[in-house]
Amino acid sequence: MKISKNFEPLVAGAAASVIIGVLSFLSFETSTGFWLMFSFGSTTLIVLIFYESEFAQPSNIFFGHLLGIIIGILFNEFFGISFVTLGLSVGTTVSLMMYLKKIHPPAAANPLIALFADVSLNYIIFPVLVGSVVIIILSILINKFLLKRDYPKKWY
C-alpha cells in the first residue's frame, strides 16, 4: 500500500532521521571510525524527496562525493586553504562532475569540508565512501519498501 501524499512528508522526515541517526550511531557508539559529514544531510534530503532525479541515483551519490573529497584533499595538500583554493576546488569539482556525468549537488561542498577541516586521505574511506554506501543502501530500502517508490531509476 502506497503512503498518502499528506503523510509522505512525515515518513520522509522520519526516514531522514533514521539515515542520519544510523550514521551518527556508527560514528559515536562504535569504534569503527567516523561515518558522517555535513554534506550527507543534503544527500539524505535528495534521495528521499528528489529520488527520481539524476543526481539522486546511487552512482552519482557515490562518485560525486568521492570526486569532491579527493579534489578538496588535493587542493589542501598542494596549495592549502585560501579564498582562491576554496573557489577553485569547488569550481573544479563542478566541472569534473559535469564532464563525468556524475552530478550530485551536496558533493560540491566536499572540497570546502576538506579544506576547512584539513582532512587526510583516510577521510576518503571514513566517512565518504562508507557513509555514501550506507546512505545508498538505506535509501533503497526506505524508498522501495517503506515509501513504495521505484528507486533507483538507474544504477550507473
The answer to whether residue 66 sits within a structural domain is yes
Rg for the chain, CA atoms, rounded:
16
The answer to whether residue 65 sits within a structural domain is yes
The answer to whether residue 12 sits within a structural domain is yes
What's the length of the chain? 156
The answer to whether residue 115 sits within a structural domain is yes
Q: What is the pLDDT of residue 88?
A: 98
Average pLDDT over residues 10-23: 98
Q: pLDDT confidence of 150, banded at 50, 70, 90?
A: very high
The answer to whether residue 153 sits within a structural domain is no
The answer to whether residue 1 sits within a structural domain is no
Q: pLDDT confidence of 33, banded at 50, 70, 90?
A: confident
pTM value > 0.85: yes
Q: Which domain holds residue 86?
A: 8-146
At 117, which amino acid appears?
A: A
Segment 64-100, tens digit of pLDDT: 999 999 999 999 999 999 999 999 999 999 999 999 9
Q: What is the pLDDT of residue 7?
A: 94
Average pLDDT over residues 5-22: 96
Number of structural domains (the chain) is 1
- What number of other Cβ atoms are within 10 A of residue 114's Cβ? 27
Segment 107-137, tens digit of pLDDT: 999 999 999 999 999 999 999 999 999 999 9
Q: What is the pLDDT of residue 61?
A: 98
DSSP string of the chain, one letter each residue: -PPPTTTHHHHHHHHHHHHHHHHHHHHHSSSS-----THHHHHHHHHHHSTTSGGGSHHHHHHHHHHHHHHHHHHHHHH-SSHHHHHHHHHHHHHHHHHHT---GGGGGHHHHHHHHT--GGGGIIIIIHHHHHHHHHHHHIIIIIS-----S---
The answer to whether 127 and 34 are in contact (CB under 8 A) is: yes
The yes-or-no verdict on residue 1 having pLDDT over 80 is: no
Tell me the average pLDDT of the chain.
Answer: 96
Q: At what angle do helices 8-28 and 39-49 cross, to 10 degrees?
A: 150
Burial environment of residue 12 by CB neighbours within 10 A (0 to 12, 13 to 18, 19 or more) = buried
The answer to whether residue 85 sits within a structural domain is yes
The yes-or-no verdict on residue 156 having pLDDT over 80 is: no
The answer to whether residue 152 sits within a structural domain is no
Q: pLDDT confidence of 62, banded at 50, 70, 90?
A: very high
Q: Give exposure, 137-151, as e/b (b: 16+ Cβ within 10 Å).
A: ebbbebbeeebebeb
